[in-house]
Amino acid sequence: MATTTTYQKSEWDTLHRNGPFKLKMLQITELEGKANIPSSVGRYNDVAKEIQRLIKDAQDHGHGFRAYGSRWSMSNIAHHPDRMHFNSYMNIDIPILAGEVHANSPYDSSNLFFFECGNTIKEISQALGAHGKSLKTTGASNGQTIAGCISTGVHGSALDVGSVQDYVVGLNLIVGPNDNDIVYLERNTRPALSDAFAQKINARVIRDDGLFNAALVSLGSFGFIHGVVIEAEDRFLLKRYVRKIDKNTALKLAKTMDFKNSDFTIDGETDANGKGNRPYHYKIFINQYVEDDEYVIEAMYKKPYTTPYPDPFTTIEKSVYRDLIYLLIKISEKFPSTIPWFIKRLEKSILPDVNEETLGTLYETFWDAPYQGPAFACSFGVDHKNSARALKLLTDLTKNEGPIPGIFAMRFAKQSEATMAFTRFPITCMIEIDGVLWQKSNKLMSLTEFSRRMTEVLQQNNIPFTIHWGKNADWGFPGLIEHMYGDNAKTWKEHRNSLLSPEMAELFSNDFLKTTSLSNVLVPVDDRFIAPIV
Amino acid sequence: MQMTTTKWLLRLGTLSIFLLFISCYSVKLVSTNGAPNPDPNNDSDDDYRNKRVIVLDTVIKAGTTTDAIGFKTQRDGCESGKLHSVEYKNTLGGSLLYLITFGSKRKVRIKYVCMKPEN
């Protein structure tokens, strides 16, 4: 039997120390050993029962319950003050046999894989690698758990791919403590697995496009995500280039995504006519405090997987004394005018080396992102056509009302089908500022004030935008969710109501959901949103 | 006279702090494969945050003929028995102890993280 250890706590914090937040109880579940339950399906079903027991216990005590994985989110989206469940040890993968693929599945059966919630991107990448397969994209790192990634819409900068949730084709949710509360959910129009597979994991099947799309980016509140079915692809290599290019060329590319007719080309990455190829990944780095005619950009091109290729890992890595960073930030709080100078000095540690070139798999290219001290990140999604204008507004704000100890970057991701995905534009440009967490002083505004001003400036200039769910923002900004998502927010809530009982809707809600007014239970539920049981 | 003594003490203190600072360093070997064993209760403010780290911080008595000292991974916190990272830290105190005792006492400070158990 899977076992859960409960720790009485007083507080909990994110990996990047964006809290602390109050917490009563931390629960950690570990699976039964293979010696006692040899089958992975047996252990998976065994731990499902344990999760249901924990949900029942939380319900009996009038507590809320929230699962989390690697605690990478910087907002309080993963937090609940009552009970938090650490699910990283729940890392089974279950093979999908040929007969377990749905008869109408549009997917190549060899690309379908089932992973338990606590598998990290790194673990999944290695498991897929053993089959000659790869994830389609990641969040530009590999430490997040798969359930955490999809719940918050984690993205990389794969222009024509999308975010992590966009290759998830099935979800196994635990929506309550009762026998019929284990659900296998997938799209009706694009089913992936057969009913036989669902029976194997004791799940009732729901095939509904609307509900599935709503549950994809669930903000952790459509029940406990126990397992996901992903669509992988054949393993590939990424050739990565770092260049410094004309600022206007870089921004024009962001606006047009027209790499074919751009002045920007890389030797060997052109077509027969010498026109630039479309990269898999495109990213712009912007130090807003430096007047420079050029920006550092990173472009990656997909290549077939062939061996041998050079070791993509650098053997020796040096790190800056963390105490030095803390000292700089303390000085910055007292004397904000020093921030641009400090950032310029640290530029070498922050930005990639110009003219750097590497070749590796997706997993090797976006490797570990180690903890480097308290950090913040604000990330706004805009239509890529508005990216240059939005960047100018946000960098001007940062310079004029700051300075703020961070630098900007732009990444790009294809539109998601998920109802509440922040990648909701045809190609979303995520304009993000990352940096060292600071304390408000009489000369430096707080992080919440800064993020509020960013929201205000985009609103005032009529630029439609979204905000990354897992990053810092003034989430209580009046009417924020409706402004960003319009009717989609209502649709999302209606689908949530259709899936969860009112008691479970409350149990799986948290302060983040309440702040954003997404926890509201809508009554009566429209018949359209009662999910069919197929 | 008192001023001169204070000045020298200050200089000596500064030099000692400088020596301590530069003589304390660490070297870390990290595997490029496998995920580190997580520990949600580890809230330390260093690279080991959220990781299950095992610390060996001890003084080993060694004979004059002892060449190397070996350790095995412990079961508690290292169920996989596989290493993800190993960090060796050298301190001025450790070096001095080795010199003063002619190698019979050796300060060992190692931190290691094992691989996350596979299921």
* Tens of pLDDT, residues A220-263: 999 999 999 999 999 999 999 999 999 999 999 999 999 999 99
Res A39 pLDDT > 70: yes
Res A487 pLDDT > 90: yes
Amino acid identity for residue A83 in this structure? R
Please give the Cα distance from A160 to A164 (Å, whole number): 13
Among candidates B35, B45, B117 on the partner chain, residue whose Cβ is nearest the Cβ of A122: B35
Amino acid identity for residue B62 in this structure? A
Res A307 pLDDT > 80: yes
Neighbours of A196 (CB within 10 A): 12
Confidence of residue A296 (pLDDT cuts 50, 70, 90): very high
Please give the Cα distance from B44 to A373 (Å, whole number): 10
Mean pLDDT along residues A212-219: 98
Mean pLDDT along residues A158-181: 96
pLDDT for A432: 95
Which chain A positions have a beta carbon within 8 Å of B46's beta carbon? 322, 371
Structure token digits, residue A155: 């993205």
Chain B residues whose C-beta is within 8 A of a chain A C-beta are 30, 32-35, 38, 40-41, 43, 45-47, 49-50, 116-119
Mean pLDDT along residues A324-330: 70
Give the minimum alpha-carbon distance from A20 to chain B in angstroms, rounded to a whole number: 11
Confidence of residue A527 (pLDDT cuts 50, 70, 90): low
Q: At what angle do helices A387-401 and A247-256 cross, to 10 degrees?
A: 130
pLDDT for A318: 62
Please give the Cα distance from A284 to A430 (Å, whole number): 11
Whether ipTM > 0.85 holds is yes
Mean pLDDT along residues A379-387: 97
Tell me whether residues B119 and A26 touch, CB distance under 8 A.
no
Which chain B positions have a beta carbon within 8 Å of A15's beta carbon? 49-50
The parts of chain B modelled with pLDDT lower than 50 are: none
Tell me whether residues A126 and B33 touch, CB distance under 8 A.
yes
Which chain A positions have a beta carbon within 8 Å of B52's beta carbon? none
pLDDT for B59: 86
Res A532 pLDDT > 60: no
Res A135 pLDDT > 50: yes
Mean pLDDT along residues A340-344: 84
Which chain A positions have a beta carbon within 8 Å of B34's beta carbon? 122, 126
Give the minimum alpha-carbon distance from A126 to chain B in angstroms, rounded to a whole number: 8
Tell me whether residues B40 and A26 touch, CB distance under 8 A.
yes
Q: Three-state SS for A151?
A: helix
pLDDT for A534: 44
Instruction: Dump pLDDT digits (tens) for A53-68.
Output: 999 999 999 999 999 9
Nearest to A168 by CA among A221, A131, A223, A117: A117
Nearest chain B Cα to A90, which residue? B119
Please give the Cα distance from A118 to A121 (Å, whole number): 10
Res A188 pLDDT > 80: yes
Q: Above pLDDT 90, what percent of chain B?
A: 35
Tell me whether residues A13 and B118 touch, CB distance under 8 A.
no
pLDDT for A356: 87
CA distances from A133 to A145, A158, A166, A235, A455 (A): 18, 17, 17, 4, 40
pLDDT for A367: 83
Chain A residues whose C-beta is within 8 A of a chain B C-beta are 7, 13, 15, 17, 26, 28, 31, 34, 40, 43, 70-71, 86, 88-92, 116, 120, 122-123, 126, 143, 313, 322, 364, 367-368, 370-371, 373
Tell me whether residues B116 and A40 touch, CB distance under 8 A.
no
Strands (E), A187-232: 204-207, 224-231
Radius of gyration of chain B from its Cα atoms, rounded to whole angstroms: 19
pLDDT for A42: 96
Res A194 pLDDT > 70: yes
pLDDT for A533: 47
Give the minimum alpha-carbon distance from A159 to chain B in angstroms, rounded to a whole number: 27
Tell me whether residues A120 and B32 touch, CB distance under 8 A.
no
Tell me whether residues A123 and B116 touch, CB distance under 8 A.
yes
Res A293 pLDDT > 90: yes
Nearest chain A Cα to B115, which residue? A123
Nearest to A88 by CA among B35, B114, B85: B35
Tell me whether residues A371 and B40 touch, CB distance under 8 A.
no
What does pLDDT average to over chain A? 92
Res A445 pLDDT > 80: yes
| Least confidently predicted of A92-96, A172-176, A431-435, A521-525 | A521-525
